[in-house]
Every structure is written in structure tokens, then in C-alpha cells.
Amino acid sequence: MKQFIRRRPTASMVIAVIALVFAITGGAIAAGSISVGDFTKKTKKKTVGVGKLTYVSVQQTYNTNQPGNFDGYKLTAQCPSGTHPLGGGTKLLSPAYNLSNFFLVSDYLSSTGYTSQFFAGTQTQADVVQVTVSCAVSPAVTGAPPSA
């Protein structure tokens, strides 16, 4: 049977072991500072949470010409109480898009939902416009979006 000769560890092996120890302890310290191990209230305030996302859609039909100095229609999708808007969008649901008179002026987040300002509808084509907002529960949301 062969005997194994014990050698002293090389300098590169010592440095590799030290680097491994620092990497492991650094990750543990970082995880402990944000409380990943036990999901504390401090961490919960900074997250949205799984399953707490809500979508709200409203739609309206517009079928008349607008007067001369008209600023456009406004349609707002409101978040439920206790939730904050995260984003949204505007969609034209009209059956014949080539006949549509739809023109989006602006769409923006407000402190309670998502608002779209647009021109839509003619005497020959009714335009159906849908506004959708995504809302979430998060105590970390502060402030409000800029007003339009």
C-alpha cells in the first residue's frame, strides 16, 4: 500500500480558503442586515408582496364629435382603497380601427389611479376606450406622481 506524503498547503490554497471564508461571511452579514432569514416588518414595508397586485379597468363608449375648443375626454381607472397605483395604460377597443378618430393626448399616474386624456368618436364611428391601472398594497410608497 502506498503511503501519502503530507505536504504543506501552498500560498495560493491559503489565499483561496481565506477568500472563501470572506465570501461566505459577507453574504451572511448582508442577508442578516435586511432580515432575509426572518421576514420582519422592516422588510415587508419595502416590498409589494406576492398575490397583492390588483388590476382595475374601466371602459367608455364615445360616439359624438367634440366641440371646437374641446380639450378632450378624460377617463380614470381608480385603485381600490388601501392600494397604490404602479402603472397603467390606455387601449382602443373599437371594432374598425381604420374608421376611428382616436387620438391620445396624455396618460399619467395620479395619486389614486391612472388617467387618460384623449379625443375619440365621430358621428359615424363609436370608439370604445379602456383604461387599466395596476394597484398594489405597499406601505413603502410615498409621495404622489406629478400632476398633469
Strand 113-119 versus strand 53-62 pairing type: unpaired
Confidence of residue 130 (pLDDT cuts 50, 70, 90): very high
Task: Classify residue 120 as exposed, middle or buried by CB count within 10 Å of its CB (0-12, 13-18, 19+).
Answer: buried
pLDDT (mean) for 100-116: 87
- What is the model's pLDDT at position 78? 94
**CA distances (Å), origin 30, targets 50, 71, 123:** 23, 53, 63
CB 32 within 8 A of CB 42: no
What pTM, to 2 d.p., does this model score?
Answer: 0.60
The pLDDT tens digits of the residues spanning 30-75 come to 666 555 555 555 555 555 554 578 899 999 888 766 666 777 888 9
The pLDDT tens digits of the residues spanning 84-93 come to 888 899 998 8
